[in-house]
Amino acid sequence: MARIRTIKPDYWTSNQVMDCSPLTRLLFIGIWNFCDDKGRMTVTPKKLKALIFPSDVMALGDIRRMIDELSDTNLVTLYTIEDVEYLQVNGWYHQKIDRPNISRLPNPDGTLDDHSTKGSEQSPPEGKGREGKVVSKDHQREES
């Protein structure tokens, strides 16, 4: 599922970002929309092309070169676990995630996030069912 992410003003003048070509900068921002709440995603040039550059004529080799450029400038970490290539956005802590989901993708070291905290990060605690319910003064008199 795509997510809304923020671009901070200092993104544009970051040395790492300025070292990238313009299309690579755009790819990097597009990756943010499609990676999970930990900044991870699988690396598939065909899928990235379809998601981020759907109407542009662009070779998959160009996408691959841009991914490698992001890695060379240390904006992403590329890693392979069981023959599947992943990336993790470096510096992801800049993104404010209101209700983070636990990642189903492995960390670069091959471990999975701890799934034992069911619900604690995904949803707010349950209430008594009356939060947000507006009761008119006339309705309160009838119940009394």
- 0.75 exceeded by pTM: no
Mutual angle of helices 22-34 and 45-52, in 10-degree steps: 90
Model confidence at 7, pLDDT cuts 50, 70, 90, reads confident
- pLDDT over 70, % of the chain: 67
Domain spanning 9-112 has what CATH number?
A: 1.10.10.10
Model confidence at 114, pLDDT cuts 50, 70, 90, reads low
Handedness of CA 97, 100, 105, 110 (dihedral sign): positive
- Where are the chain's structural domains? 9-112
Model pLDDT for residues 31-79, shown as the tens digit of each residue: 998 998 888 999 999 999 999 999 999 999 999 999 999 999 999 999 9
